[in-house]
Amino acid sequence: MKGIKGFLLVLIILPWISGCYYLKGYSIAPDVKSFYVGNFKLTALNAPATINQTFAEALKDKVARESRLQFTDLHPDLEFNGTVQSFIVSAVAPKPNEQTSFNRLSIHVAIEYTNHLDAKEDWKKTFTHFADFSTDQNLLQVQDELITIIFNQILEDVFNQAFNNW
């Protein structure tokens, strides 16, 4: 019984001892307190006019919701900026007689991550994901749903890159 109590005590105290590990599986240095998400640019042709704002807001919400960091536009410790670079619809999986069975929407988002407390942590990276939809569907009918699916995956990748060094 003593061994179990000791083990449980270690599990409870370990996050505070390490200073930066949290049970959610990500690590943020203890001196990092705030973040900022800048205005993302839009260079993607044929993309919805507000897709860059949608992404920036989604990134801000994810970091605020899934970390202890506070959003601020005055001297943030961490900063995310970027560009929605491409919004491409392509035909995939051709059928006999050169018909396609589905289409693919691909989105590329370039992110510049700046750690104002430790410049060695800075990075620039392009994140890409896609979602498929039937050729029977018009893109405008499924566009919002596809963008949400794609952005959720890109946001997860950005979060992991920033806070897990993946």
Q: Identify the residue whose tokens are 């430790």.
A: 118
Token pair belonging to 34: 């705030």
113 dihedral zone (left: phi>0; alpha: psi -120 to 50; beta): beta
Rg (CA), the chain: 20
Q: CA 103 to CA 59: how far, in whole Å? A: 27
Position 102, amino acid? F
Residues 134, 140, 142: CA angle, nearest 5 degrees: 50
Q: At residue 3, does pLDDT exceed 80? A: no
Tell me the pLDDT band of 164, cut-offs 50, 70 and 90: confident
Q: At residue 7, does pLDDT exceed 70? A: no
45-62 confidence digits (pLDDT tens):
999 999 999 999 999 999
Q: At residue 8, does pLDDT exceed 90? A: no
List Cα–Cα distances, 92 to 38, 95, 135, in angstroms: 35, 9, 10
Mean of pLDDT values over 81-95: 89
Q: At residue 76, does pLDDT exceed 50? A: yes
Cβ proximity of 93 and 100 under 8 Å: yes
For residue 27, the tally of other CB atoms under 10 A from its CB is 14
Q: CA 87 to CA 54: how far, in whole Å? A: 14
98-109 confidence digits (pLDDT tens):
666 789 999 999
Q: CA 149 to CA 69: how far, in whole Å? A: 25
Q: State the DSSP H helix or E strand holding residue 60, giving kind and residue range, or none if neither.
A: helix 51-66
118-128 confidence digits (pLDDT tens):
999 999 999 99
Going along the chain from its start, the domains and CATH numbers come out as 1-30 (no CATH), 31-164 (3.30.160.150)
